Structure formats: structure tokens, C-alpha cells
Amino acid sequence: MKIRVGMGFDVHQLVEGRDLWMGGIKLEHSKGLLGHSDADVLLHAVCDALLGAANMRDIGYHFPDTAEFTDGMDSKVILKKTIELITTKGYKLVNIDATICAERPKMNPYIPEMKACMAQVIGCDEDDISIKATTTEKLGFTGREEGISAYAVVLIEKA
């Protein structure tokens, strides 16, 4: 068995007039994340981590923000296609450990639903997905509520 680790990071600006998508679910908030797709930073960080672990470049390479086919794309589709991509090299997910950095809205109430959504898309057990949330104690762009970021580490294996 061969195992590999990947790390991902994503950040998007908070703006009015957009829905806030996180972990594949829509959150109630006065602002949403600006992006070419639905700008789900959690799923984007996970996809980058998966692609990196499989040595398959990054999310921007496979799903460019200049492409018409990615305009407004649901990030759950990106996650599903990323799982399919790593499968072409014989890899499968072992686990995800992710952290969302946001002042508001508070993410903890939504984490069980995010885990359930992601597990369904990936086809894994919810216990294989860890999602945590933190603030930046009012420091930086996140602290000023100008944006939200996410970090993810994944372990994949090849049988």
C-alpha cells in the first residue's frame, strides 16, 4: 500500500449579493463569497489537497476560473470530479482534516451537515472527514470580515 499527504488552501472575498456556500451547503448570511464558481473555500481547499496528494497539479489547472464551463459551477461537482481524477491514478481518500477561518457566521452549527454532504459526494464515511472552525481574533482580512479562508490536509492511499 502507498499513502500520500496533500495540503490545500483557499480564500475568497465576502461581498453582498452572493450566496454563502461552505462544505457544499448554503449558509444563512448577509454576504457570500466572490468567485467564478460558487466560491466554496472549504471544498476548494479539499480539492487542492486531493490533487496535490495525487501529484495532479491544482484546482485552477483542472477547473480554471477563465473557463466558461466553470462559470457559476457548484463546488460539489468540482469535488466529485476531483475524486474521479485521483481514482484514475488508483488513489482513494483515507481522511480529510480541514479548518475554516471566519469571524461570522459561526460555522460550528453547520459542521454536521457539511460533513454529511461531503461524505455523500465523495462516497466515504462521515467519520473520515474532520471539519473545524476558528476565527482570527478580529485580525487581518478575516477578522475584518472581508473574506473567509480554509485549509485542508488529506491522506490518500493506493492499493
Q: Which three cell numbers stand for residue 106?
A: 459561526
**Binding site as annotated, residues for a divalent metal cation:** 10, 12, 44
> Three-class SS of residue 77?
helix
**Binding site as annotated, residues:** 10-12, 36-37, 44, 58-60, 134-137, 141, 144
**What contacts 144, CB < 8 A, 6 or more positions away?**
138
Measured CA to CA, the distance from residue 96 to residue 114 in angstroms comes to 13
C-alpha pair distances (Å), 70 with each of 94, 143, 155: 27, 29, 26
